Amino acid sequence: MNWITNYVRPKINSMLGRREVPENLWIKCPETGEMVFHRDLEENKWVIPQSGYHMKMPAKARLKDLFDGGIYETLPQPKVAQDPLKFRDSKKYTDRLRDSRAKTELEDTIVAGLGLVQGVKLVAVVHEFNFIGGSLGMAAGEAIVKAFERAIAEKCPLVIFPASGGARMQEGILSLMQLPRTTVAVNMLKEAGLPYIVVLTNPTTGGVTASYAMLGDIHIAEPGAEIGFAGKRVIEQTLREKLPEGFQTSEYLLEHGMVDMVVKRHDLPATLARVLKILTKKPVEAAKRESGSQATALPVAARA
């Protein structure tokens, strides 16, 4: 079989002039099975046009979509110890990091930026789920803390978009220590009198839910997002009961008072700007003037 796959098939393809077609040109909707061309999906902000299902959105694409004109300053990724526990399961942790970096072109799961959203200056922090499931490790924790410190220094709000399976098991107790560290950073922002908004995306689970993802002044969720600590199957096996339909979805949490609003992805920038103007007691006119005066003031503007 290897001889046929590795030699005969490429030889036939070359003779017939066939080209290899990428496998990810068409994306299947998890709800309806609809096939969507990848460029159409990207242009629609990774939302399936017919069903409205919100697919996972890459971190850099989310920042570009969020900030005015796609312009923002990318905050630097702090340097931390790599693989301090020399962890290995089915493969080395260092190999997993290398593969994820090659796949996502990121140093770790957190991407943060400073910019303007409809005239409101803010720091945005985004989890990249494709980087080891958006898990929280030392590098991610340090990046989140530094983002909070930058927001305090800039005297502006911070908005975070968690998408994570929880703490990174390959870093053991060192990853769990990021829960209290990020919680302290949240409290520092609140002591400075600055708003902190959490936009819960699919999925937000584990230790991330148990820390900074549930400490916002206002909690917004994308439609259909899975939000919880333990998984639905684990809870059912523990309680030996069937859980309600839609359990742990953003709509279920809204109904039970765990989130403040469910907002479609297309409406997020306008919603965030409106909420932040209310929280900062800033009229729309003042925000527009600030937008004009500060649009060129960002030190290292990056068009993602």
Is pLDDT above 90 for 192? yes
Give dist(CA 96, CA 188) in Å, integer. 33
**Predicted confidence band of residue 293 (pLDDT cuts 50, 70, 90):** very low
3-state DSSP call for residue 295?
Answer: coil
Domain 56-280 class? alpha beta
Position 104, amino acid = T
Average confidence (pLDDT) over 162-177: 95
User: For position 17, what pLDDT does the model report?
Assistant: 55
**pTM of the prediction?**
0.85
User: For position 72, what pLDDT does the model report?
Assistant: 98
Alpha helices in the chain (DSSP H): 2-3, 9-16, 38-43, 59-66, 93-104, 138-154, 172-176, 178-191, 206-209, 232-239, 250-255, 268-279, 284-294
User: For position 301, what pLDDT does the model report?
Assistant: 42
**Predicted confidence band of residue 25 (pLDDT cuts 50, 70, 90):** confident
Burial class (CB in 10 A: 0-12, 13-18, 19+), 147: buried
CA distances for 118 relative to 12, 261, 272, angstroms: 55, 20, 9
Is pLDDT above 60 for 47? yes
User: For position 166, what pLDDT does the model report?
Assistant: 94
Percent of the chain with pLDDT over 90: 79
User: For position 297, what pLDDT does the model report?
Assistant: 41
Average pLDDT value over all residues in the chain: 89
Give dist(CA 225, CA 232) in Å, integer. 13
Is the pLDDT higher at 133 or at 3?
Answer: 133
Is pLDDT above 70 for 303? no
Q: What angle do CA 187, 192, 195 make, to 5 degrees?
A: 75
CB hemisphere CA count around 262 (13 angstroms) = 18
Percent of the chain with pLDDT over 70: 86
Average confidence (pLDDT) over 123-146: 97
Give dist(CA 280, CA 225) in Å, integer. 28
Compute φ and ψ for 92, nearest 5 degrees: -65, 145
Domain residue ranges in the chain: 23-55, 56-280
User: For position 231, what pLDDT does the model report?
Assistant: 87
User: For residue range 239-263, what is the model confidence (pLDDT) as tens digits?
Assistant: 999 999 889 999 999 999 999 999 9
**Predicted confidence band of residue 285 (pLDDT cuts 50, 70, 90):** low
Average confidence (pLDDT) over 194-204: 97
Average confidence (pLDDT) over 135-147: 97
Is pLDDT above 50 for 141? yes
Is pLDDT above 80 for 116? yes
Average confidence (pLDDT) over 158-174: 96
Is pLDDT above 70 for 135? yes
